[in-house]
Amino acid sequence: MKLHRIPVGPFATNCLLVGDEGGQGVVVDPGGDGEVIADRVAAFRLQPTLIVLTHGHLDHCLEASALASRYGVPVAIHPADLPLYRNLPRQIAALLGPAAAEAFRPDPLVEPGWLLNEGDRVPIGALEAEVLHLPGHTPGGIGLLIRTEPPTLICGDTIFRDGIGRTDLWGGDHETLIASIRNKVFTLPDDTRLVCGHGAETTVGREKAFFPY
């Protein structure tokens, strides 16, 4: 597996390019700086087959429609986060102010072509990722578990190195998030690599050892 991390947008979201040795793969969480992402796709020699969103917050999906149109590929998201995805201007107004929302001129919204649910298998060229539903940060948060050695979990904003996702935004719920972490993330092997939505990556074992919740 090849994985390339690109911090994008005003919140330094980790957009991920994930591919197999042959160059086919997916773009995960394109939350801004679409031209930067496209340049990296070209440099990485990736042939995107899918845009995957770990959840529907604006900083993870602002460039999803533009890149889906550019590459002629579907957008994939959990159905519980469709309301967030379909209301990007309202999210921008709430988080960045009305002026930012007024200035936002999105590409025509590309409706998701794949509504991801627990247990779905997402092809990444010759590889595949298993979808884990990880609600709490948002109702439709997901992780992508790739059975590399050690395993890799692309976990969005569910858990970070020394932290967890916010639960004070739309659809967030603290108890649900903690349950997702304890019952899904922490049941994976300790050496599982956690590739987070912001900041540095970590491992399941490290976060279990210092988890304060």
pLDDT in tens, 26-39: 999 999 999 999 99
Tell me if 137 sits within 8 A of 158, measured CB to CB: yes
> How far is 17 from 36, CA to CA, in rounded Å?
12
SS3 assignment, position 19? strand
Average pLDDT over residues 47-66: 96
Q: Which of residues 46 and 106 earns the better pLDDT score?
A: 46
Phi and psi for 130 in degrees, rounded to 5?
-95, 135
C-alpha separations of 158 from 22, 35, 49, 135, 196 in Å: 30, 27, 25, 8, 8
Write down the pTM of the prediction.
0.96
Closest CA to 82 of 158, 168, 170: 170
Strands 24-28 and 142-146 turn out to be unpaired
Residue carrying structure tokens 């200035």: 103
pLDDT tens digits for range 90-128: 888 888 788 776 767 667 899 999 999 999 999 999 999
Predicted pLDDT at 95: 81
The CATH number of domain 2-209 is 3.60.15.10? yes
Average pLDDT over residues 76-86: 97
Percent of the chain with pLDDT over 90: 88
